[in-house]
Amino acid sequence: MTVGDDGGRWELSYTDEDIALARRIIAAAVAGRIEERKAFGRSRVVVTFEDGETIGETGYSGCASLVVPQPGWTRWGEGIRYEPFGRHSPTRASTNGTIFDARRSVVAVTPVC
């Protein structure tokens, strides 16, 4: 399952635990509780569940992302907070003093086979 761009990839099977995790991730995406931080060739996605628990995954794209160091990119990279499903108005939101671009509607959740 992939949420967002390069980050946010979970390898899930058909066990009861993984199915429950997939449902929680989809529910968080629909509710707009997905944040993504992006920089050159890298992305970190954080999913916040209804109970406040968070999980995150970091992904990299291409060889250059591994060769070009970007210290602190999870603080200064482009921040995106995906809006809840059904909302499409451009807004700006602040979390812990960080400005997030909230122009995107619900994040795409893609099954990976």
In angstroms and rounded to an integer, the radius of gyration of the C-alpha atoms of the chain is: 14
User: What integer pLDDT is reported at residue 62 of this predicted model?
Assistant: 81
User: What integer pLDDT is reported at residue 7 of this predicted model?
Assistant: 81
User: How many other C-beta atoms lie within 10 A of the C-beta of residue 86?
Assistant: 9
Do 109 and 29 form a contact (C-beta atoms < 8 A)?
A: yes
User: What integer pLDDT is reported at residue 58 of this predicted model?
Assistant: 92
pLDDT (tens digit, 0 to 9) for every residue of the chain, 113 residues total? 888 877 888 888 999 999 999 999 989 988 989 999 998 889 999 999 999 999 999 988 888 777 888 888 889 998 988 888 765 544 444 444 444 444 454 455 556 55
